Chain A
Amino acid sequence: MAEDSPTLQYLKERLADGILDTHAFRGDQTIVVRRERLCETFRTFRDDPKLAFNFLTDITAVDYLGKREPRFEVVYHLYSMPRGERLRVKVPVPEADPVVDSLTPLWKGANWLEREVWDMFGIRFLGHPDLRRILLYEEFQGHPLRKDYPVNLWQPLVPEREVAGTFVDERSRNKLTRLKQKLAPGG
């Protein structure tokens, strides 16, 4: 294993007990942190002048079903504008309790990115102001980027939602009624 970069060494001293693992594969610095007090950890990344990771590039997750325990990993990519350095932060999340802290208090951009992770992986973000599905629709069953979600599964059409105060065309109402009859059990 190669020598740790100065940033990783500094992080190890700074967050000694919060860090589970560090490595640098192909020059990508990666640290794995505990999910307890996650928001505080990220506040350190952002506000410590020696780190200054002030730019949240991306949030995503990986499902390691049957490969690793715990099953999920939430992956954050941070960038330091003043220092021109990237850092990958990974947080293991168990299947039984898929919850991590939301980073929306630190970066506004976390809002949609976390909604997408919830939508695709079913990982909840504690303290998120508006955790709804984003790319899929409310009636969708399951979380498609989980490895146990079949790739060829079809989900039924959902009836048109009625929104209070909106005008509904008679023709589409008839269509809606027909669709409801079709979807009703025994129909």
Chain B
Amino acid sequence: MNPERVDLPIETMDLQMGPSHPATHGTIKFNLKLEGEKVLDCDVEVGYLHRGFAKSCEQATWTQVIPYTDRLNYASPVINNVGYALAVEKLIGVETTPRCQFIRVIMSELARIFDHLTCCGMTASELGAITAGFYMLEARELIMRIVETVTGARLTVTYVRIGGVKHDLPFGFAEQVERAFRIVRKLLSDCDRLLSRNRIFLDRMAGIGAISRETAIAYGLTGPILRSTGVNYDVRKAHPYLVYDQLDFEIPLGTKGDDYDRFVVRIQELEQSMRIVEQALKKIPPGPVTIEDPSIVLPEKERVYGSIEGLMNHFKIIIEGIKVPPGEVYFAVEGGNGELGFYLVSDGGGRPYRVRVRPPCFIAMSAFSEMIKGRMLADIIPTFGMINMIGGECDR
């Protein structure tokens, strides 16, 4: 041993980070084993927001589950609504009207913009770029206003129904979207100037939390995290649902699979989502927004109050629930964080027998310790931010 170099005694330290840490947005605990600032091991503890989603769904009728789905990924509630409604429709074997399909696409993409802006804005502000964070929150507020105009709620929207949507788009919707997108694009270009060549931001994001393509597939990662490694898998392209096959958009891909690539993939997806909304608004056909099937869709209020058939129809659906044929289906949509799948089992009654959600960020969190092992304590913040763990969806 070289006598001039004396190794200082190294002591490992156990640190519990969380469950409510100011620099992580989300209720989660990391049980860390540290050597100085180096993370030797990280055991992730989730479940702080568990509220028995699946058990609650088994007690509710098929329609009553929709408000529960709002509370899964509360940054993009419409996508959860749409995913669940499409799964139930697949189980029944019906398809909604063309106009409703376009409305669902428009609202899903607005929700995706909202989701990505939350994720990128929060991560930027946690890394000290608080101006960029505020700019993105401002853009998010514009999207939120549109959602509010359409659905009447800001977060728990419950906009989609089985067989359609609650009501049509409001008057002047296209102009409102156009105005909002003009400002959002300007804000995003400001953020680009603030962040893309920002030394601090790059140092904390580039090369951090990197994961290889093979590891990402082994963990079952989807969404921006998988695409940042260069795997071209997006449910909207791989298995087009609704009218995504009629719209022209691209899937941004990364190469390194690090936090910076995830950030860039999300920022580019914002532009693609805006393109989708603009195209859909041009192509949207007139027509009804729900299918005409009295066994699935509630009758108009005039019919409920004006005729005995309408009243009976209303009560049958509310009390007994929609009759869904026995069977099981799996249907996946592209959520904000990845493949959001619904596995439904029906026993032929008015209530679901089993509702299982495939939560994209729960699966992403299982790969977290692999992403962070051997790195610094401070790297947890951007890596966790770019996973975009949403407690409501992760813990259900």
Contacts and interface: CB of A to CB of B under 8 A. Distances in A.
A43 interface: no
B329 A26 contact: yes
A134 B135 CA distance: 37
A60 B363 contact: no
A163 B31 CA distance: 12
Contact of A28 (B46, B328, B354): B328
B152 interface: no
Contact of A57 (B47, B52, B341, B347): B341
A145 B328 CA distance: 18
Contact of B47 (A28, A60, A137, A166): A137
Contacts of A35: none
Contact of B218 (A57, A84, A109): A109
B239 A55 contact: no
B312 to A, nearest CB: 30
Interface size class of A (residues with CB under 8 A): 35 or more
Mostly helix, strand, loop or mixed at chain B's interface?
Answer: mixed
B275 interface: no
Interface residues of B, number: 46
B367 A25 contact: no
B367 A109 contact: yes
Contact of B238 (A84, A108, A120, A165): A84
A107 interface: yes
Interface in B371-396: 395-396
A185 B345 CA distance: 43
A108 B215 contact: yes
A109 B218 CA distance: 6
B215 A113 contact: no
A77 interface: yes
B129 interface: no
A151 B329 CA distance: 25
A84 B363 contact: no
B339 interface: yes
Given A108-B218, A112-B366, A120-B54, 10 more contacts: A26-B90, A57-B341, A62-B345, A75-B343, A84-B239, A107-B219, A108-B367, A112-B365, A136-B47, A136-B50
Interface of A: 25-26, 28, 30, 54-58, 60, 62-63, 67, 75, 77, 81, 84, 86, 88, 107-109, 111-113, 116, 120, 134-137, 144-145, 149, 151, 163, 165-166
9 interchain residue pairs of minimum CB distance: A109-B220, A112-B366, A135-B47, A109-B219, A58-B358, A135-B50, A60-B356, A108-B218, A25-B327
